[in-house]
Amino acid sequence: MYSSDDPWYDALASGWGESDGTDVPEAASPVVGDVYLEVQRSAAFREVRSRYRRFVVPAVAVFLSWYVAYVVTATTAPALMARPVAGAMNVAMVAGLGQFLTTFLLTWAYARHARLRRDRAALELRWETQELTRVSRGGAS
């Protein structure tokens, strides 16, 4: 049924990707691991993480509060949510559409914040980490 031309033949023959121990990759050098620990402890990394948290934590708290308020109001005050706003539109529909609008605005704000406040610093950390890793593995600098 399976031939040697089948690229999945070896995987199927060895038990769907279960390793027999002969193809275990070499563990990363402890020196390489130290590079990542060094970068993680660096002031630049802490600053990138701090900028991320300063945006994400309040944004998530505000968005989840808005969502929970919508759900709680919809279940506990159906008369309020059924109140007409304009034509066939009621408070529930306006608030529901507001949820979509808030999602898109939050996505835009996150992407803008990342682009303006974190991307450059994170890219510099990435290049620094790659260079340190290459040097620690004995590659060209």
**Which has the minimum average pLDDT: 63-72, 85-94, 116-125?**
116-125
pLDDT > 90? residue 75 = yes
pLDDT at position 112 is: 94
* Mean confidence (pLDDT) of the chain: 81
pLDDT > 80? residue 64 = yes
**Which residue shows structure tokens 């023959």?**
13
Cβ-based burial of 114 (10 A; exposed 0-12, middle 13-18, buried ≥19): middle
